[in-house]
């Protein structure tokens, strides 16, 4: 009897231990399931984000090709129309009127702002894009052409011409250069997703914060415009949409702006060729 009675506490102890093990196993399984579910959610979220990025990139490339095809078709139409009027070789003056390189610069900047605007979601608030060309002149970066998508008119940027800010656009300014000068000095595409961040961008006056939320600048190292020597230039685009020009889409923006920069450079070379 004593031996039998001494076994009972041991049996109860093992029963308790067994229940504890079952509870721990259940808790472990629940924790494992929770962690697995969260991991799957994160993986799915990253996968969906990557799919969305690929879709946006593909859409941009398709839109770019369509826009460039439209520009080429328009140019071919102008040339065909001009050549149909006379079968003999055109004079320089007549050819200049046909090719209209000065007008084509505006068409290119307009096309660029339209393409960028087309990527904005339909439910987004009222927005705007501005595009312009800056050229090194007298040691400073100065605007030579611009276009405002919202107003539909040429609208060159004015800050570089303001005496108060001119020093920031000196190409030899390495202490506190403007965003544009930094782009030219680095020789690479520069993107700012949030211009309100003083570590990324510098406003020249308070009003800029209302319409300049994100900006991109693409350097053109051997631009030939308004003077025969090849000089530094840059294609710059800004928008009222915060976060638009972001590092995640650098490759897409690089391809897009490079295509337009190349065609703008060509138009200014034609202006020099035809003595405009």
Contact 256, 117 (CB under 8 A): no
Name the residue with tokens 């300014």: 173
> Would you say residue 211 lies in a domain?
yes
pLDDT per residue over 17-56, tens digit each?
777 787 777 877 877 777 777 776 776 666 666 666 666 6
Residue 131 contacts residue 257 (beta carbons within 8 Å): no
**What is the C-alpha to C-alpha distance for residues 168 and 159, in angstroms, rounded to an integer?**
10
| 93: in domain | no
In whole numbers, what is the pLDDT of the chain averaged over residues?
A: 80
Q: Considering the domain boundaries, does residue 204 fall inside one?
A: yes
The answer to whether position 45 is within a domain reads no
- Domain containing 207: what range? 100-273
Instruction: Work out the number of other CB atoms within 10 angstroms of the CB of residue 103.
Output: 11
Query: Rounded to an integer, what is the distance from CA 85 to the centroid of its chain?
Result: 42
Contact assessment for residue 232 and residue 219, using Cβ atoms and an 8 Å cutoff: yes
37 lies in some domain: no
Res. 177: pLDDT tops 90 = yes
Q: Is there a domain that residue 249 lies in?
A: yes
Weakest-pLDDT range from 20-34, 205-219, 241-255: 20-34
CB 247 within 8 A of CB 191: yes
Q: Please check whether residue 131 lies inside any domain of the structure.
A: yes
Average pLDDT (99-108) is 81
CA-only gyration radius of the chain, Å:
31
Residues 264-271, mean pLDDT to the nearest whole number: 83
261 found inside a domain: yes
Please count the structural domains in the chain.
1
Q: Which two tokens stand for residue 148?
A: 């405002």
- What six digits make up the tokens of 160? 């570089």
Does the reported pTM lie above 0.85?
no
Q: What is the CATH number of the domain that holds 262?
A: 3.30.450.40
């Amino acid at each position: 009897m004593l031996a039998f009675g001494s076994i009972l506490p041991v049996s109860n102890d093992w029963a308790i231990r067994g229940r504890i093990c079952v509870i721990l196993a259940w808790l472990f399984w629940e924790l494992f399931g929770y962690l697995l579910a969260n991991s799957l959610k994160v993986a799915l979220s990253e996968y969906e984000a990557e799919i969305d990025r690929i879709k946006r990139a593909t859409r941009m490339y398709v839109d770019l090709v369509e826009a460039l095809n439209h520009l080429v078709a328009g140019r071919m139409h102008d040339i065909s129309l001009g050549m149909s009027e006379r079968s003999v070789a055109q004079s320089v003056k007549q050819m200049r009127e046909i090719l209209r390189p000065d007008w084509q610069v505006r068409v290119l900047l307009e096309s660029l702002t339209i393409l960028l605007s087309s990527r904005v979601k339909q439910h987004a608030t009222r927005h705007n894009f501005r595009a312009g060309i800056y050229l090194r002149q007298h040691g400073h970066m100065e605007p030579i052409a611009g276009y405002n998508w919202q107003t539909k008119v040429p609208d060159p940027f004015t800050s570089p011409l303001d005496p108060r800010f001119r020093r920031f656009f000196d190409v030899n300014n390495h202490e506190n250069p403007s965003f544009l000068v930094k782009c030219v000095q680095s020789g690479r595409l520069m993107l700012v997703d949030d211009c309100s961040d003083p570590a990324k961008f510098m406003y020249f006056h308070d009003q800029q914060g209302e319409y300049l939320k994100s900006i991109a600048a693409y350097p053109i190292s051997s631009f030939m415009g308004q003077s025969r020597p090849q000089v530094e230039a840059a294609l710059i685009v800004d928008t009222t949409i915060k976060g638009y020009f972001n590092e995640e889409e650098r490759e897409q923006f690089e391809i897009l702006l490079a295509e337009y920069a190349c065609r703008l450079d060509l138009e200014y070379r034609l202006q020099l060729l035809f003595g405009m």
